[in-house]
Amino acid sequence: MSDDDLDVRLRDVVEADLEFFLAYEHDPEAARRARFTPRPREAFLRHWKTNVLGGETNFVQTVTVDGGAVAGNIVAWWEDDRRFLGYWLGRPYWGRGIGGRALRLFLEQETNRPLYADPFAGNTGSVRLLEKAGFQRTGTIRHGEDEHILLVLG
């Protein structure tokens, strides 16, 4: 089976998914590319249960491949008056078209526009994925010492 034949789907997050998300966040290469410091287990679980899953206006989906393998997640949330999108895929699922297909499925359900994303400037794969989905560069912003690309889907 080629990667083109992969069955990519979205579903609601279940508690067991959090263990996959935690492992993916702790992948050293993923953390380097995202310029994100992985959280300790308890802080990660508290953040996800309280802020991500507990946020009433958040839209959170698990990305699955081929009958249910947990590939990652996609989330939309409000930050002040802007709706943001973020995602995290496990490294085994990079570069196979899974992120692009999952993002397209997500954008069919998440209809708020404009929709913003701000990946680390050095994460060229993530920037490219968003641009292929129709996001346009609108500038840069800083998170601490790091420059991030601000993209918007109108």
Q: What is the mean pLDDT of the chain?
A: 95
Rounded to two decimals, the pTM is 0.93
Residue 96 to residues 6, 35, 65, 119, Cα–Cα distance (Å): 9, 22, 11, 19
pLDDT in tens, 76-135: 999 999 999 999 999 999 999 999 999 999 999 999 999 999 999 999 999 999 999 999
For residue 1, pLDDT over 90 is answered with no
CA 48-20-152 angle, to 5 degrees, is 60
Q: How far is CA 6 from the centre of its chain?
A: 19
For residue 28, pLDDT over 70 is answered with yes
pLDDT at 6: 85
N-terminal to C-terminal alpha carbon distance within the chain? 36
